[in-house]
């Protein structure tokens, strides 16, 4: 395996997957290590299709795909010819997906990640998150308040006016018009017209990185971050955000909900809620490394990665 030249020790990329089988099946609960162990480069994000297929992205254009629930992985480096770190990945179907990363990198695949082609972003700013509402319409956000939008599957990307120069770290939309972006200094932005205009929302914090945002509908959403395990929730589309008690002081890097009640937040720990975040309980991950991304296919099967 070729790895970009470095003098420091390699930092291992790892994946965890949780399987909880039905009462009729073999009972196996908890978080279990999955291959590859190790892979050799940081992983930053994962997208999951059903129970068995997932694609993860990370350093030096690393793209990893499994079709058997993580037992085996096909690993490629320098996807699309890039050596840049890939920070986020999103698919609209099993074939069509995008990955974004440092240096304004945007890659697209039309065959489930086997091949990737570079798209012109028009920026050299790092891109931290990508989200599509259909095969044509998507957004990418990143450094210096960068928000990009495409309406033709990424053939063209145009800059939108965010109104901020803060680093933007995560984007989530509930339809083609309504979405949110979060970032450093407690930044939360909302659009109701597909990004033509973005308005600032009051998060209640000004010295905190908000690393991830997720909405289950146009009203109900969560944002997580640093400074003592921050979890914020809104039930009115972000007009107001309230702090939830996470029970941890570690930084939280990713949040994901499968419905309005059941969700997970990960970072230096794994937290789960079954009541919309009123209470969060810690789960045993089996690692002391920070976890960067979480994704669940249903209430029982999920993936986190570092």
Q: Residue 9: what pLDDT?
A: 28
Distance CA 231, CA 227 (A): 10
From residue 287, how far is each of 12, 269, 306 by CA, in Å?
12, 9, 10
Q: Residue 5: what pLDDT?
A: 27
Closest CA to 214 of 198, 233, 242, 194: 233
Distance CA 141, CA 162 (A): 10
Q: How confident is the model at residue 275 (pLDDT cuts 50, 70, 90)?
A: very high
Is pLDDT above 50 for 2?
no
Beta bridge mates, 76: 63
CATH 1.10.10.10 fits 77-293, yes or no: no
Q: Residue 1: what pLDDT?
A: 29
Q: How confident is the model at residue 210 (pLDDT cuts 50, 70, 90)?
A: very high
Name the pTM for this structure.
0.89
In tens, the pLDDT along 15-50 reads 655 544 333 333 445 676 565 454 567 889 999 998
In tens, the pLDDT along 57-90 reads 999 999 999 999 988 889 999 999 999 999 999 9
Q: Residue 40: what pLDDT?
A: 67
Structure tokens at 214: 């997720």
């Amino acid at each position: 395996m070729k790895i970009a030249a470095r003098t420091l020790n390699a930092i291992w990329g790892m994946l965890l997957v949780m399987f909880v089988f039905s009462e009729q099946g073999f009972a196996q609960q908890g978080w279990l290590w999955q291959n590859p162990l190790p892979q050799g480069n940081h992983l930053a994000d994962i997208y999951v299709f059903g129970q068995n297929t997932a694609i993860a992205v990370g350093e030096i254009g690393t793209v990893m795909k499994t079709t058997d629930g993580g037992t085996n992985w096909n690993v490629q480096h320098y996807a699309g010819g890039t050596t840049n770190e890939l920070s986020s990945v999103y698919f609209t179907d099993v074939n069509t997906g995008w990955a974004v990363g440092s240096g304004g990198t945007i890659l697209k695949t039309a065959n489930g990640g086997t091949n990737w082609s570079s798209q012109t972003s028009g920026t050299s700013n790092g891109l931290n998150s990508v989200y599509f509402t259909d095969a044509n319409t998507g957004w990418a956000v990143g450094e210096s308040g960068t928000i990009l939008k495409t309406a033709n599957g990424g053939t063209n990307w145009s800059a939108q006016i965010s109104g901020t120069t803060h680093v933007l770290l995560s984007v989530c939309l509930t339809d083609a018009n309504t979405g949110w972006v979060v970032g450093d200094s407690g930044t939360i932005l909302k659009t109701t017209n597909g990004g033509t205009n973005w308005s600032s929302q009051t998060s209640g914090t000004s010295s905190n990185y908000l690393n991830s945002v997720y909405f289950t509908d146009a009203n109900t959403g969560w944002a997580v971050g640093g400074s003592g395990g921050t979890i914020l929730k809104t039930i009115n589309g972000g007009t107001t955000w309230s702090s939830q008690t996470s029970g941890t002081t570690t930084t939280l890097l990713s949040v994901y909900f499968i419905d309005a009640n059941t969700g997970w937040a990960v970072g230096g720990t794994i937290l789960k809620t079954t009541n919309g975040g009123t209470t969060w309980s810690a789960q045993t991950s089996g690692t002391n490394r920070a976890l960067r991304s979480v994704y669940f296919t249903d209430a029982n099967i999920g993936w986190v990665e570092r």
